[in-house]
């Protein structure tokens, strides 16, 4: 597995995939910088009159539900990406927080074939079983994946993956990634990732970057992205703690760490467990 | 007073208030990170079709005039917040710079009961007495609060507070906060706060975070927010000066300082003076 | 030349020009902070109902093609700036990437007299000779200015400058700035500038800041902006390399360096060559 993950990361650094991200304005800058840090190039066109052309030039597409005003652009770009066989990565930001978000999510999932769906526990549950306990963009504590509910949570993401045909990445303290058949749990990151905006959006952007460079391996791309974020989150936290810094420095050091990540860094740092 | 301010800050760190901010795209990322640094959680929904639902889930609402395109969303969210008794914090960004901004401000103040109005000297004067000397988002030098015009300025914010029923926070080198009865002047911060974008917007977001955690104490919440920003602005400046850094590092260190602020830090650092 | 460039930079630090930037949401925060770092003040109004008023208060105007939704606002503000004699700086972001961008560019160039056009090699070529090889916001490798094609590239920007009446700044590893008569090549910056988002947009904003403070010298303003960015890019890279940091720190240190740049720093650091 680690050998494959190394290749996934290196492919992005070598081939510089162009990632078309239709994403929310709050974290768009961070997402663009994250894609660049991983070796890709971002383009963030949202205008309905051009998104199909831009997607055609690109290697992967991000649909971030936070860009609610761009729902039509997402549908156009998503269908075009599907036609061309470009991987589409969906981030159902705060999917359970409003009727509109639920409706837009269902429409996108119905009309666009997603390669990967990446969300926190509340977002994935909202889509998978229709719970609506999301508070804003935060995962509800009750929804979290723990060692106690690990297999039950795995069953949930596996069923959702089989129903949608997408790799599902449910991320948090414990991360689950599945393609419906293979399922892994990843450990890492740090609590401070919940104290900056955009950690989830950046992970989605990173996933799309790796998918763009490895279009036939969405499962491995998603595992690699989650693994890189976990390792870099820990490294950034150690630096911040050592220097007596705070959350804004953590954001900077997190992107720094991704920009300096080498495929060899997986060895000895990746904490991954195959689930039955 | 300091005892109350400590409680205000701690409440935000303990209760993690959800702050719904309808704010401009330029500084939205900074505002989200500032809310998180203070212990809250941000949600930045602007779509008219969902803002009432999002506000219902939240503990406080920011209306930032810079988001001109979202005027209707602000009215919907503001009225809903009023119905639910959630504190609304208004930031009249560049209120005097255009006819449209004046008109939108008047409409918002007429239809939404604000808990706190936070602006610079030119913005508050534009609303309070109809002067229109704002140049962009900068306070006009002629409008500034000085020791010489302190009592006159205090009288102006007090009258504006009584007329609107809102706590008014006029911030700059000298800050004034009043609920119409009690008025304090605060000293601190640094000149470099005028050399980054978003210092005012971030202070407004911080105020809303403290209001959300302390919904019955908008005056104390506003004083705490201004005090924290003054103390953290000074601390960040000392670090930047010592390290030979510049304005971008100052922004990072300012948010860092808020994320590390402990209620005990008020003691010996807060420079506050009660005015008659 | 260096004497004039010093004056250009100092004028911005002394007169604090107000720069009205109609720019894309992805890098707006960085652009605002760059303008502030150089001594100016940003205002980023995009609403058609107020852009003419805001432009009237301002000293210079940025039209950034990335803000596609604000095309009408750009036309209104651009015409007003022309009437008032305010310099307009155009950034044709990804001009060759879609039909819409080509069309919008042509309309803007037809209706608004630009003081400076600042873009990368692919963007300038797309406008100058109608090639459409832009991939997103990145310059296509085939379009790059090299020592081998330097005079040919200079002839292209000179012809484009004479046709539009604008100073043209084509920036990359080698930068070319021309007013149709005088042409200079500048060297500097670093490869890491291509690994953060917004390096180009920030340079455009910096150019507008210097134009606003020196409205009769768009050529010198553009050369100064490119020179400052080259020098600060190198300085930031040295710091990042020395500290073992990455791309996000580079962005911070780049803006820091501009905020600490003194006119005297041109001496011995500016690498500029007059072309025939």
The model's pLDDT over C234-272, given as tens digits with 9 standing for 90+, comes to 999 999 999 999 999 999 999 999 999 999 999 999 999
Please give the order of strands across the beta sheet that includes C88-91.
C41-43, C18-22, C60-64, C88-91, C116-119, C167-170, C174-178, C183-187, C271-275
Rounded to whole angstroms, what are the CA distances from B65 to B75, B93, C205? Answer: 11, 5, 23
Task: Give the β-pairing of B18-22 and B60-64.
Answer: parallel
Q: What backbone phi and psi angles, to 5 degrees, belong to B272?
A: -135, 140
Q: What is the pLDDT of residue B131?
A: 61
User: Which residue in C25, C26, C133, C196 has the most chain A C-beta atoms within 10 A of its own C-beta, making it the best mutation to test that interface?
Assistant: C26
Question: C93 CB near a chain B CB, below 8 Å?
Answer: no
Which candidate from C69, C196, C252 shows the least CB-CB separation from A47?
Answer: C69
What's the gap in Å between the CA of C225 and the closest CA on chain B?
18
Describe the crossing of helices C199-213 and C218-243 by its angle, rounded to 10 degrees. Answer: 140
* Per-residue confidence band for C132, with pLDDT thresholds at 50, 70 and 90: low
Closest C-chain CA to B132: C57
Residue A175 to residue B162: CA distance in whole angstroms: 52
Which candidate from B99, B137, B196 shows the least CB-CB separation from C33?
Answer: B196
Instruction: List, in order, residues 6 or more apart from B188 with CB less than 8 Å away.
Output: B227, B229, B230, B231, B233, B234, B269, B270, B271
pLDDT at position C136 over 50: no
- Mean pLDDT throughout C77-85? 98
Task: Output the average pLDDT for chain C.
Answer: 95
CB contact (8 A) between residue B197 and residue C36? yes
Q: What is the pLDDT of residue B276?
A: 85
Number of residues that make up chain A: 276
Rounded to whole angstroms, what are the CA distances from A190 to A145, A231, A250, A266, B137? Answer: 15, 9, 11, 17, 37
Which candidate from A97, A99, A246 shows the least CB-CB separation from B37?
Answer: A246
pLDDT in tens, B180-216: 999 999 999 999 999 999 999 999 999 999 999 999 9
CA proximity to A192, closest of A211, A173, A177: A173
Question: B97 CB near a chain C CB, below 8 Å?
Answer: yes
Q: How many CB pairs under 8 A join A and B?
A: 94
- Mean pLDDT throughout B88-111? 96
3-state secondary structure B230-271: HHHHHHHHHHHHHHCCCHHHHHHHHHHHHHHCCHHHHCCCCE
Q: What backbone phi and psi angles, to 5 degrees, belong to B67?
A: -85, 65
Q: Is A43 helix (H, G, I), strand (E, B) or coil?
A: strand
pTM to 2 decimal places: 0.97
Q: What is the pLDDT of residue A85?
A: 98
Q: What backbone phi and psi angles, to 5 degrees, belong to C53?
A: -65, -45
What's the gap in Å between the CA of A182 and the closest CA on chain B?
34
CA proximity to A228, closest of A198, A188, A194: A188
Instruction: List, in order, residues 6 or more apart from B265 with CB less than 8 Å away.
Output: B231
User: Which residue in A31, A43, A80 has the most chain C C-beta atoms within 10 A of its own C-beta, making it the best mutation to test that interface?
Assistant: A43
pLDDT in tens, A157-205: 999 999 999 999 999 999 999 999 999 999 999 999 999 999 999 999 9
Alpha-carbon torsion (C69, C71, C72, C76), positive or negative: positive
Q: Find chains touching chain C: ≥3 CB pairs under 8 Å.
A: A, B
Q: Tally helices (H) and strands (E) across chain B.
A: 10, 9
Q: How many CB pairs under 8 A join B and C?
A: 93
Dihedral angle, C-alpha B258, B262, B263, B264, nearest 10 ° = -130
A contact residues 161-190, partner C, Cβ 8 Å cutoff: none
- Mean pLDDT throughout C19-43? 98
Rounded to whole angstroms, what are the CA distances from A155 to A144, A180, A183, B12? Answer: 14, 9, 9, 36
Q: Which two tokens stand for residue B248?
A: 């971008």
pLDDT in tens, C172-193: 999 999 999 999 999 999 999 9
Residues of chain A with pLDDT under 50: 134, 136
CB contact (8 A) between residue A197 and residue B37? no
CB contact (8 A) between residue C54 and residue B136? yes
- Mean pLDDT throughout B15-26? 98
Which candidate from C97, C136, C197 shows the least CB-CB separation from A29?
Answer: C197
Q: What is the pLDDT of residue A136?
A: 47
C contact residues 242-261, partner B, Cβ 8 Å cutoff: 251-260
Which candidate from A27, A136, A244 shows the least CB-CB separation from B41?
Answer: A136
Residue B188 to residue A218: CA distance in whole angstroms: 52
Q: Which residues does chain A have within 8 Å of residue B255's beta carbon, measured at their own beta carbons?
A: 246-248
Q: What is the pLDDT of residue B139?
A: 64
Q: Which residues does chain A have within 8 Å of residue C251's beta carbon, measured at their own beta carbons?
A: 33
Question: B239 CB near a chain A CB, below 8 Å?
Answer: no
pLDDT in tens, B116-160: 999 999 999 999 987 655 454 556 667 899 999 999 999 999 999
Neighbours of A180 (CB within 10 A): 18
Q: What is the pLDDT of residue A138?
A: 56
What's the gap in Å between the CA of A30 and the closest CA on chain C?
9
Q: Which residues does chain B have within 8 Å of residue C28's beta carbon, measured at their own beta carbons?
A: 25-26
CB contact (8 A) between residue C43 and residue B136? yes
CA proximity to B45, closest of C207, A142, A134: A134
CA angle C263, C264, C270 (to 5 degrees): 85
Q: What is the pLDDT of residue C47?
A: 98
Q: Which residues does chain A have within 8 Å of residue B36's beta carbon, measured at their own beta carbons?
A: 195-197, 247
Q: Which residue(s) pair with B255 in the sheet?
A: none
pLDDT in tens, A54-74: 999 999 999 999 999 999 999
Q: Which residues does chain C have within 8 Å of residue A17's beta carbon, measured at their own beta carbons?
A: none
- Mean pLDDT throughout C107-114? 98
Residue C93 to residue C65: CA distance in whole angstroms: 5
Which candidate from A29, A135, A246 shows the least CB-CB separation from B257?
Answer: A246
Q: What is the pLDDT of residue A139?
A: 63
Which candidate from C69, C198, C247 shows the least CB-CB separation from A256?
Answer: C247
Question: C30 CB near a chain A CB, below 8 Å?
Answer: yes
B contact residues 130-149, partner A, Cβ 8 Å cutoff: none
C123 contacts C96 by C-beta, under 8 angstroms: yes
Instruction: List, in order, residues 6 or more apart from B139 with CB less than 8 Å away.
Output: B120, B121, B122, B123, B172
CA proximity to C120, closest of A32, A21, A37, A41: A41
Burial degree of A268 (CB within 10 A; 0-12, 13-18, 19+): exposed
Q: Which residue(s) pair with B274 in the sheet?
A: B184
Q: Which residues does chain A have within 8 Å of residue B251's beta carbon, measured at their own beta carbons?
A: 248
Q: What is the DSSP letter of C192?
A: G
Which candidate from A41, A47, A257 shows the least CB-CB separation from C138?
Answer: A41
What is the percent of chain C with per-residue pLDDT over 90, rounded to a whole number?
93
Closest A-chain CA to B259: A246
CB contact (8 A) between residue A28 and residue C26? yes
Q: Is C230 helix (H, G, I), strand (E, B) or coil?
A: helix
Give rounded-to-5 percent helix, strand, coil for chain B.
55, 15, 30
Instruction: List, in order, residues 6 or more apart from A251 with CB less than 8 Å away.
Output: A30, A196, A198, B33, C248
pLDDT at position C138 over 60: no
Instruction: List, in order, residues 6 or more apart from B167 with CB less than 8 Å away.
Output: B115, B116, B117, B161, B177, B178, B179, B218, B219, B222
B114 contacts B219 by C-beta, under 8 angstroms: no
Residue C28 to residue A29: CA distance in whole angstroms: 9
Q: Which two tokens stand for residue B229?
A: 């920003």
pLDDT at position B258 over 70: yes
CB contact (8 A) between residue C30 and residue A29? yes
Residue B117 to residue B110: CA distance in whole angstroms: 13
Q: Which residue(s) pair with B89 in the sheet?
A: B62, B116
C60 contacts C89 by C-beta, under 8 angstroms: yes
Dihedral angle, C-alpha B42, B45, B51, B57, nearest 10 ° = -30
* Per-residue confidence band for C139, with pLDDT thresholds at 50, 70 and 90: low
User: Which residue in A28, A235, A254 has the most chain C C-beta atoms within 10 A of its own C-beta, making it the best mutation to test that interface?
Assistant: A28
Q: Find chains touching chain B: ≥3 CB pairs under 8 Å.
A: A, C
Q: Find chains touching chain A: ≥3 CB pairs under 8 Å.
A: B, C
What's the gap in Å between the CA of C77 and the closest CA on chain B?
14
- DSSP string of B92-146? -TTTTS-HHHHHHHHHHHHHS--SEEEE-HHHHHHHHH-----BTTBPPGGG---
| Residue bearing tokens 């763009």 | A212
């Amino acid at each position: 597995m680690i050998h494959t993950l190394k290749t996934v990361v290196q492919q992005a650094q070598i081939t510089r995939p162009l990632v078309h991200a239709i994403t929310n304005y709050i974290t768009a800058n961070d997402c663009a910088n994250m894609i660049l840090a991983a070796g890709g190039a971002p383009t963030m066109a949202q205008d309905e009159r051009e998104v199909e052309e831009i997607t055609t030039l690109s290697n992967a597409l991000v649909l971030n539900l936070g860009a609610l005003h761009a729902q039509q652009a997402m549908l156009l770009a998503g269908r075009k990406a599907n036609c061309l066989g470009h991987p589409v990565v969906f981030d159902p930001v705060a999917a359970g927080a409003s009727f509109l978000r639920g409706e837009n999510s269902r429409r996108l999932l119905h009309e666009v074939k997603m390669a990967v769906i990446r969300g926190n526990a509340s977002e994935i549950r909202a889509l998978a079983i229709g719970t609506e306990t999301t508070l804003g963009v935060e995962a509800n504590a009750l929804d979290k994946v723990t060692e106690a509910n690990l297999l039950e949570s795995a069953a949930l993401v596996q069923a959702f993956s089989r129903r949608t045909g997408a790799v599902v990445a449910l991320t948090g303290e414990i991360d689950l990634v599945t393609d419906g058949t293979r399922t892994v749990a990843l450990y890492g990151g740090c609590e401070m990732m919940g104290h900056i905006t955009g950690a989830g959006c950046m992970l989605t952007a990173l996933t799309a970057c790796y998918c763009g460079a490895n279009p036939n391996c969405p499962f491995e791309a998603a595992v690699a992205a989650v693994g890189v974020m976990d390792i870099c989150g820990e490294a950034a936290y150690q630096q911040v703690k050592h220097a007596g810094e705070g959350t804004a420095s953590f954001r900077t050091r997190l992107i720094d760490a991704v920009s300096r990540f080498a495929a060899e860094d997986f060895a000895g740092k990746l904490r991954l467990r195959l689930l039955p």
